[in-house]
Amino acid sequence: MTPDSVILRCKQCGAKNRVPKQRLNDRPICGKCRAPLPPEPIFDQPVVVTDQTFQQEVLDFSGPVLLDCWAPWCGPCQMVAPLLIQLAKEFAGRAKIAKLNVDQNPITAGRYHVMSIPTMLLFKNGQLVNSIAGALSKNEMDRHLRGLV
């Protein structure tokens, strides 16, 4: 996918449609069923998630989400942070990269049994698909995300 286009999933038939970013305001339609495509926001930066926003940002999101469970004092978490920014740009329009500070949001961290950090939680259509503890390389995170897109 080129950085100047996004993938929008049709709510009616489920087809994935590649749309140039400059055409998003032109009310694009699905190439398969001709239904109007939903104007999904494009996430090209990691989204900060809290206990209060977790449902909306992760579980209600219609596509894949990589949720980084981290803490500010964690060295490996700090090493992973720039990689998440890169992935957010590369997967903009196809997946959401999100960050959850476990110290400030113990309810969500406890709900998903986050025992060590960093932990990457992978969701697809609101369902937990995988949980990976430890700092991952960009290639490993990319591979896991590509499996969900």
For the question of whether the overall pTM of this predicted structure is more than 0.85, the answer is: no
Q: Are residues 116 and 64 in the same domain?
A: yes
Closest by alpha carbon to 122, among 94, 102, 96? 96
Looking at the predicted structure, is the pLDDT value of residue 127 above 90?
Answer: yes
Q: Are residues 32 and 64 in the same domain?
A: no
53 contact partners, CB below 8 Å, separation of at least 6: none
Q: Are residues 23 and 66 in the same domain?
A: no
pLDDT of 3-56, one tens digit each?
677 778 788 888 888 888 788 778 899 999 999 987 766 677 899 999 999 999
Active site residues: 74, 77
Secondary element (H or E) of residue 69: strand 64-70
* Tally of domains within the chain: 2
- Residue 133 belongs to what domain range? 47-146
